[in-house]
Amino acid sequence: MPTPSTARPEWTIPIDPALQAELERHVLVTSWDKLLGMVDTVYNWGRRSALWPLGFGLACCAIEMICTASSRFDIARFGAEVFRGSPRQADVMIVSGTVTKTMMPMIARLYDQMPEPKYVISMGACASGGGPFKEGYNVVSGIDKYLPVDVYVPGCPPTPQALLHGLITLQRKIDGEKLDIPAIGRKGNTPWYDPDANRDVPVPVLGPDLIDVRTLELTAERTAAGLTEAREATLPRPALIPAPRPEVPEAEEAADGQAESAAAPSGRAMSKIELIRAKSRGEAVPEGAAATAAKKAPARPSRKARVAPSRPTLVWLGDDGLKDLAGRLDSEFGEGTATVVRAALLVPAGKLLDVSSFLRDRNPIRYDYLASLQGVHYEDCIELTYHLDSTASPGSLIQLRVRAAEAEGEGEVPSVIGVWPGADFQEREAYDMMGVRFSGHPNLTRILMWEGFAYYPLRKDFLEPYYEGPAKVFPSRIEEGRGQHHRAEEFNPFGSNVKIPKGFRGWDGLDPAADAKGFGQMPRGTGVDVQELDTEQFVLSMGPQHPSTHGVFRMNLRVDGETVVGLKPVMGYMHRNHEKIGERNTFLMNFPFTDRLDYFTSMLNNHGYALAVEQLMGDDAKVPERAEHIRVIMAELNRVASHMWSIGFLLNDLGAFFTPALYAIEERELILDLFEWAAGSRMMCNYFRFGGVAFDLPPGWVDRCSAIVNDRLGRKIDELDALLSENEILKDRSRGIGVLSREQAIAFSTAGPVLRASGVPYDIRRAAPYSIYDRFEFDVVTATGGDVYDRYHVRLREMRESVRILGQALRALPEGPILPGKKSYQIKVPAGEAYSRVENAKGELGYYIVADGGPTAYRYHVRSPSFINLTALEAMCLGHTVADVVGILGSLDIVLGEVDR
């Protein structure tokens, strides 16, 4: 028989008589509200002291977020013990990093899956407002456009301590909360809290752009009215320059002539910035104004648009070798097959496949390695450039040029996948960004944007929705723009940075549940024979938010039981418009953006970018000895830090959750301290400058660095080796798994430890030496098995080689200047082309720059080792189990900032 309930008159809810007696005996209840207040206190204490964060890591900030779990910062002391992998188990979502349009629907869906009450911490400038990527064509300017944010943590990135402070702030907020208790009719102070409510901000849709379905009607109306087109009519258009021609000296003269005749519009004296911008656009302006301008600021000879010497990269085949090669191709395939155009071979698209096969298989130097492939939008064509090297004769790099029609969607060239399978993702990228079709490509779909996106963003005529001009400095920030400063929203007809073509009619077909990003990326069976139970195959989507994918990356797997029989990487969830921004930024302003590519290796990224621009600048950017040494020291420290992290987290992937990673993070922290001391920042160091480095080393830095290098790192590497290399579980889980043969590794254009673990001794520091690497003794580490274990072991041994280089560089570090002249914010970069190559921790990091003599790059492309290494992923995974896929991906050591750029 149930216990009859009794109620005190002033209490409105029934209470168990036994409990009532107990309360009256032991608790002094002066009023129900006070009791509830105590309950709130206890309840809030419980909630705030056991926050379960869903670490929603999107980009660089995520790494600082992960560091809060290390022993140095120890998030557990702040009441948030364990990062959750599932939204169902979490009550606070820490959005750390850049929120892209591609990722936004995923974030909203996962937020919806968290139980109430739930909170959001926005970590970093990007999550809070778009940060440095604000309003890029694939970036959302702040997560609060779609989620209710409780705490904003400023910084780019915020330090781990700043995130912990954010956590404390959230805890204080929770302390002050009173939840609604409808059962007793109590209203709390959290009107948002309704455990049964459906979300009021619907999941946005990836259509021709990201579409907020709350504004669907308005957006459709404005699109029909042609507001995008009307706005664009008022914007300055970037000037297109013609593709390079063989007759260089005349072109040079013409460029100089243009610079000389630059003049002011409508009789008004041109400002300095107008002159620079007019020149960069290639515009001719009336002569009178030029004279006026000249009077204001007398033109120096250096003001003329200089042309850099023609060479594709610092170490290459050379002029004579290139002429011989052109002659050989002509005699093989007919006169006119290859024309030397500015130190590269121009080949007709129709002969590309023949020429490619010849270069790989029959030329005396076998060009078996496609280092890089990219497109440039010129006035008269889209030019595809192919950088080729030979693994047998490294340093013989050549550049091929192939031209396609300029008009949007008209360009077509044959795919070279059959010759160099490493072209796969690179051709898809050129298609996605430039609209060039590659005939014969088996899967020519968008790779960084999504199917259905309406534009080709790296064509020069693609104007981004927000921006007021194609290149910095924007008119509203310079003298003629005084009083005309606008907010982003005013520039945009939609109130946010979306751009939809007037002809778009498919509003009714927009579906928030559609998978625009994964569409077309479902792997087909690849003939892997599974000799086990007769099971149904199915497609499994891993990612784009999954603890094992090392960032916002997705793999669509076709599995037969546990066996992988097909795999397609799906990327672009972190595409932050890096190259478009690089063409908008002035050369100097682009440095900090390179930090954020592979956000573990900002020093190495800086180095590569500096080399590309310095190649164009020639002696104006000759690096002094001290700076060269400092550069090498920073680069090698960074390699050790990156490899440490990579090994620690590979062990996570293999099942040894977090202990090895904690050891690795500890060493990395010591290196980050050195970076912070010298550059002012732990991760985003922005430390290199054209011709040197930004600051000299502070007093005491060399001693501290030497102590870490000489007394600690070697010992710690030995410790890792002793703990891991002979560990039976590690060996069982990594030996013979994810094997990439030597031939496959070269064919897929893999680089770095991935390539070397397959037995190819190709390291840019030796293959095409840069900086002062040719002065140091170190070995190029290789292995022969090409499996997960060898990739781990190559990294481990490479750290020892870095320590060797560090010891030599620290001992040889001379006194002297760190820059060739005074610090300057005015960089003059001659017109020309340059491809720089550095050995990043992940492999060959290349920067391809086309400069037109203006203050910004005309074309800026990054050859990303993480991106290209992924081309081999499917081949490495076929026939293995799902659990092995996690380890194989970990052994590639990808960083999404660099994959997606």
- Residues at the site binding ligand SF4, with contacts judged by CB under 6 A: 59-61, 97-98, 124-126, 131-132, 156-157, 596, 684
Residue 684 C-beta: closest distance to ligand SF4, Å: 6
Strands (E), 457-546: 537-542
Nearer CB in complex with ligand SF4: 133/649: 133
Looking at the Cβ atoms of 166 and 807, the one nearer to ligand SF4 is 166
Residue with smaller CB distance to ligand SF4, 59 or 894: 59
Q: 3-class secondary structure for 740-765?
A: CCHHHHHHCCCCCHHHHCCCCCCCHH
- Does the bond joining 544 to the residue before it have cis omega, within 30 degrees of 0? yes
Determine the 3-state secondary structure of 368 from DSSP. Answer: coil
In angstroms, give the least distance from the CB of 897 to ligand SF4.
Answer: 7
Structure tokens at 43: 């309840």
Q: Which residues face 389 on adjacent strands? A: 369
Cα–Cα distance, 712 to 720 (Å, whole number): 12
Instruction: Report how far residue 722's alpha carbon sits from residue 768's, in angstroms, rounded to the nearest whole number.
Output: 34
**Distance of closest approach, residue 107 Cβ to ligand SF4, in angstroms:** 14
Structure-derived torsion over alpha carbons of residues 754, 755, 758, 760, reported in degrees to the nearest 10: -150
Q: Cβ of residue 78: shortest distance to ligand SF4, in angstroms? A: 20
In DSSP terms, which residues pair with 384 in a beta bridge? 375, 402
**Cα–Cα distance for residue pair 391/407, rounded to 1 Å:** 37
Distinct helix (H) and strand (E) counts, the chain: 31, 21
Euclidean distance between CA atoms 105 and 111, whole angstroms: 10
Q: Which residues contact 664 (CB under 8 A, 6 or more apart)?
A: 644, 645, 647, 648, 649, 720
705 is in an annotated binding site: no
Considering the complex, state which of residue 87 and residue 97 has its C-beta at the smaller distance from ligand SF4: 97
Least distance CB 541 / ligand SF4 (angstroms): 24
In total, the chain counts a number of residues equal to 901
User: What is the nearest approach in angstroms of ligand SF4 to the Cβ of residue 131?
Assistant: 4
CB of 60 to ligand SF4, least distance (A): 3
Tokens 């732990």 belong to 682
- The DSSP result for 386-428, as a single string, is EEEE-SSSTT--EEEEEEE--STTT-EEE--TTT-TTHHHHHH
Pick between residue 133 and residue 146 the one whose CB is nearest to ligand SF4: 133
Quote the least distance from Cβ 898 to ligand SF4, whole Å: 12
Nearer to ligand SF4, 159 or 228 (CB): 159
Whole-number minimum distance, CB 94 to ligand SF4, in Å?
A: 12
What is the C-alpha to C-alpha distance for residues 809 and 800, in angstroms, rounded to an integer? 14
Residue among 53 and 786 whose Cβ is closer to ligand SF4: 53
What is the nearest approach in angstroms of ligand SF4 to the Cβ of residue 611? 23
Q: Which is nearer to ligand SF4, 61 or 66 (CB)?
A: 61
From first CA to last CA, the distance across the chain in angstroms is 69
Neighbours of 7 (CB within 10 A): 12
Is 685 annotated to bind a ligand? Reply is no
Rounded to 10°, the helix 882-892/625-653 angle is: 170
Q: Is 156 annotated as a binding residue?
A: yes
Where do we find the tokens 């009607």?
217
Amino acid in position 770: Y
> Both tokens of residue 390?
């030979």
Give 51 or 59: the residue with its C-beta nearer to ligand SF4: 59
Tokens representing 429 are: 């990228």
Q: Which residues contact 30 (CB under 8 A, 6 or more apart)?
A: none
Which residues lie across from 258 on neighbouring strands? none
Neighbours of 448 (CB within 10 A): 27
Residue (54 or 125) nearer to ligand SF4, CB:
125
Nearest CB to ligand SF4, comparing residues 155 and 204: 155
Closest CB 96 distance from ligand SF4, rounded Å: 7
Binding residues for [4Fe-4S] cluster: 60-61, 126, 156
Residue list, annotated binding site: 60-61, 126, 156
